[in-house]
Amino acid sequence: MMNDTKMKYKNTSIGIVPTDWEVKSLNKVGEIYSGGTPRTHNPKYWNGEIHWCTPTDITKNSNKYIFKTEKAISHLGLSSSSAKLLPINSIIVSTRASIGKVVINKIEMCTNQGFKNIVPFKEIDFEYLYYNILFLEHVFLKKASGSTFQELSKNDFSKIQIPVPKLPEQKKIAEILSIWDKAIQENNNIIKALEKRNKVLAFSLLTGKKRLKEFKNFQWTKTKLENVIDEYNVKPLSESKLPVFTSSKNGLMMQSDYYSGSRLIDRENVDYNVLPPNYITYRSRSDDGLFTFNKNNFTIKGLISGYYPVFKIKNGNDDFFLYYFNYFKRKLGKYSIGTSQLVLSINALKQITLKIPASEEQNEIAKILNTANEELQQYKQKLENLKQQKKGLMQQLLTGKIRTM
C-alpha cells in the first residue's frame, strides 16, 4: 500500500476521491434485480432444486459468502414469480428488514422481494463491489422509508453512488480487505469452538459427570438453597442519573450511564435501589432467567424492581454458584408459578433442593471455568479489535485516502 501526498484528488458528489477514479451509481456497475416469492399455497412451487434466499439466511450468516439457503423453490415456482436466478458471485443486498446486510452467493440462487441484487458488469470486481455495499449500510438505512416497515426502493437503491477505480486497483483493495475477513472468520471459528468446549466443560463439572482427581472420594450433598443464599432487602434511594448497568456479559454486570430496556430505564426523580458488590440478581419472569453477578468494586445503583430479586451467597463460592445457576436456570425455572406470567420468586428459589459439592471443590471448579471463560473473552475482544481495524481500513481504502497502486 502507498499513501502518496503527491496524488491528486477531486471533489465529487460523494466526497473527495482520487482524480483517476470515477463515481458511478449502482445501476451503472451492474444489472439490478429484485426478488420474488412464489405462491405459498401451491406445493408445486416449493421444495425444488433452486436455492431461495430470505433475510433470515443473511442474518444467520457470519461469512461474506453464502453457500446455501433454508428454503428452495422449483423451476415452476421461479417462472411463476418475479424472482430472478442469480449467477454465482452476484451481490445480494437486503433492502427490507435487515437493511444493508450483504453477501456474495457461491451457488446460483434467487431471493425473495426483500432484496435488491446486483450482477456486476465485467469491469467491476464483485468483491470490491461487496465491500462498497458493506461500507454504505448507513446510507441505505438513511434512505429507507415506509409506514408499515422500512424498505429501500429499487429506484433509490439504483441511484446510490460509489467510487470506482480501475479494475486492477479494485482487485487489490478487495484482496487487502479479504485478509481481515479471513482473520475475522478464523477468530469466529475459534470462538464457536471455545463456546462449545465451555458448554461441555460446564456440563461435566457442574453435574459431577467429571470429577476432579483430588475430590473423587467426596460426595456431593443435597441442600435447600435457603442454606446457601441470603436475600438482600434493598432500600430505595431518591437519586437520579446514577451509574447503573445496561447489559451483562457471561453473567457479569457492565457499568454504564443508564438502565436500558422496557422495564429498566433511567428516569428523573425516582427511587433507586442499590446492588452492592458481590450480590447476585436475576430476572424472575420466565422470559429471561439470566443470573447476573455484580463482581465490580463499585456499587451499582438503579431501578431494581420486584422483577429482580437480589441475594448473596452466604455459604459457598460466588463464581461457582453464578455458573451453577446459569447452567441450571431452565431447571430452576420449573419452580416458577403464576397464571398470566410465570415468576420464580426469591422464596420459591430458596426452597429448591440442589446437589452441590463442598466449598473446596466449588473453588477448583470455579477456577477452571473462569480460566476457560477468560480465554473465550480474549478471543471475543480480539474479534472486536479486528472488526474495528477492518472498518478503519475500509474508510481509508474505499475513499482512496490510501492507495494500493
214-234: average pLDDT: 89
Local structure of residue 368 (DSSP, 8 states):
H
The predicted model scores a pTM of 0.78
Confidence at 238, pLDDT banded by 50, 70, 90 = very low
DSSP string of 119-183, one letter each residue: EE-TTS-HHHHHHHHHHTHHHHHHH-B-SSS-B--HHHHHH-EEEE--HHHHHHHHHHHHHHHHH
Is residue 376's pLDDT more than 90? Answer: yes
**Given this model, what pLDDT does residue 361 score?**
96
Strand partners, 2: 403
C-alpha cell at 317: 463460592
The answer, yes or no, to whether residue 334 has pLDDT greater than 90, is no
CATH class assigned to 22-164 = alpha beta
CA distance 82 to 38: 8
Contact status, residue 101 vs residue 107, Cβ threshold 8 Å: no
Same fold, 22-164 and 221-356: yes
CATH superfamily of 221-356: DNA methylase specificity domains (3.90.220.20)
**CA distance readout (Å), 363 to 209, 215, 371:** 17, 12, 12
- Indicate the residue type of 85: L
Domain residue ranges in the chain: 22-164, 221-356
172-184 b/e (C-beta count within 10 Å ≥ 16 → b) = bbbebbeebbeeb
319/369 Cα distance (integer angstroms): 9
Q: Which of 121-135, 177-191, 302-316, 354-368 has the lowest mean pLDDT?
A: 302-316
On the question of pLDDT at 21 being above 90, the answer is yes
